[in-house]
C-alpha cells in the first residue's frame, strides 16, 4: 500500500503560507494536516474558520482537519464548509461517535477517529469498519515538536492485525514526533499515513526531507 505523508502546518511560517504550501506540495507531500485546537480539549487555540478557508484556497492538496476540540458535533459543518476533505475527531470528546461518523459521510467527507496515547484501543477497533481513517496520537495533543511515545505502536499493531483479519482498507495515521527514525518504526507497525510537522518545517529543503522520510520507510520489515 502507498505511504502517505501529510504535512502538519502547525509550526509552519504563517506569515508566508502561500510559499510554505507551494514548497510542501512541490516537495511531494500527499496532504495538509490542520491542527484545530479550542483551548478546552487542549490549552492552545489555533486556526479559526476564516483562516482555514483562506488556507484551503491556497493549495490543491487534500486537507485533513484534526479536531482537538470539545463537542466536535457542533462544529464539523463549519470545517467542511471551509474546505476540509476529511475530518478527524477524538473519541475522548465525542458524545456519539457512530452518529458523527455517519453525519460526516452524509456530508461527503472522509471520517476519521483519533485517540490520545493513554486511551485504550478497544473503541477504535470496534469502529474501524465504519471509518476511513484512524489517527493515533504519538504525543499528547496540543503542541508540535514533542518527543514520540513508542508505546502507541502496540495500538497501531493491534488495529493493523484487526484490519488484515477483517479485510479493512483504511488509513492508519500517526501524529507527533515523526522523524527519520520514528517514521520507519511506525510504518513497520502498520502505519500508512505519517503526519509530519516540525521535522519538515525546521529543514532547509522540504522536498529533500520528504524524500528522506520515504527512503527511511522503504523496505522496512513489518512487525505487526
Contact footprint for ligand DX5 (CB under 6 A): 8, 10-11, 33, 35, 66, 139, 141-142, 144-146, 175-178, 195-199
Instruction: Assign 123 to helix, strand or coil.
Output: helix
35 binding Zn ion? (CB under 5 A): yes
Minimum Å distance from CB 168 to ligand DX5?
Answer: 24
Is 64 a binding residue for Zn ion by CB under 5 A? The answer is: no
* Distance in Å, CB of 26 to ligand DX5, minimum: 20
Taking CB under 5 A as the binding criterion, the range among 45-53, 108-116, 152-160, 168-176 that sits at the site for Zn ion is 168-176
Nearer to ligand DX5, 128 or 201 (CB): 201
Q: Identify whether the C-beta of residue 156 lies closer than 8 Å to the C-beta of residue 189.
A: yes
- Cβ-Cβ contacts under 8 Å for 94 (sequence gap 6 or more): 72, 73, 100
Cα–Cα dist 99/86, whole Å: 16
Least Å distance, CB 150 to Zn ion, is: 18
Query: Closest CB to ligand DX5 among 116 and 127?
Result: 116
- Report the sign of the C-alpha dihedral through residues 215, 61, 10, 141, in that order: negative
Q: Which entry of ligand DX5, Zn ion, none binds 101, CB below 5 to 8 A by partner kind? A: none
Contact present, 123 and 115 (Cβ < 8 Å): yes
Verify whether residue 35 is a known catalytic residue: yes
**137 in Cβ contact with 98 (< 8 Å):** no
Angle between helices 180-189 and 152-165 (to 10 degrees): 40
**Which of 31, 175, 186, 213 forms a contact with Zn ion (CB under 5 A)?**
175
Stretch that binds Zn ion, among 37-45, 91-99, 126-134, 173-181 (CB under 5 A): 173-181
**Active-site residue among 78, 154, 175, 205?**
175
Catalytic residue flag (residue 132): no
Whether 211 contacts 179, CB under 8 Å: no
Percent of residues in the chain assigned helix, strand, coil, to nearest 5: 40, 20, 40
Report, as residue numbers or ranges, the catalytic residues.
35, 175
Residues that bind Zn ion (CB under 5 A): 35, 66, 175
Amino acid at each position: 500500500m502507498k505511504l502517505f505523508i501529510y504535512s502538519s502546518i502547525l509550526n509552519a511560517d504563517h506569515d508566508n503560507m502561500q510559499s510554505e504550501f507551494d514548497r510542501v506540495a512541490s516537495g511531494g507531500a500527499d496532504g495538509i494536516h490542520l491542527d484545530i485546537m479550542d483551548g478546552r480539549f487542549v490549552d492552545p487555540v489555533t486556526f479559526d474558520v476564516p483562516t482555514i478557508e483562506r488556507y484551503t484556497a491556497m493549495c490543491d492538496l487534500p486537507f485533513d482537519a484534526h479536531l482537538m476540540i470539545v463537542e466536535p458535533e457542533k462544529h464539523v459543518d463549519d470545517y467542511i464548509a471551509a474546505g476540509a476533505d476529511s475530518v478527524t475527531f477524538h473519541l475522548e470528546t465525542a458524545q456519539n461517535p457512530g452518529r458523527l461518523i455517519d453525519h460526516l459521510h452524509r456530508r461527503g467527507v472522509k471520517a476519521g477517529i483519533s485517540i490520545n496515547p493513554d486511551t485504550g484501543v478497544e473503541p477504535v477497533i470496534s469502529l474501524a469498519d465504519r471509518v476511513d481513517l484512524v489517527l493515533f496520537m504519538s504525543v499528547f495533543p496540543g503542541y508540535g515538536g514533542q518527543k514520540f511515545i513508542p508505546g502507541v505502536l502496540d495500538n497501531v499493531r493491534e488495529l493493523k492485525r484487526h484490519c488484515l483479519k477483517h479485510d479493512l482498507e483504511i488509513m492508519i495515521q500517526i501524529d507527533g514526533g515523526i522523524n527519520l527514525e520514528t517514521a520507519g518504526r511506525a510504518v513497520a507497525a502498520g502505519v500508512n499515513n505519517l503526519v509530519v510537522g516540525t521535522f519538515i518545517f525546521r529543514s532547509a529543503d522540504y522536498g529533500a526531507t520528504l524524500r528522506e522520510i520515504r527512503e527511511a520507510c522503504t523496505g522496512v520489515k513489518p512487525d505487526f
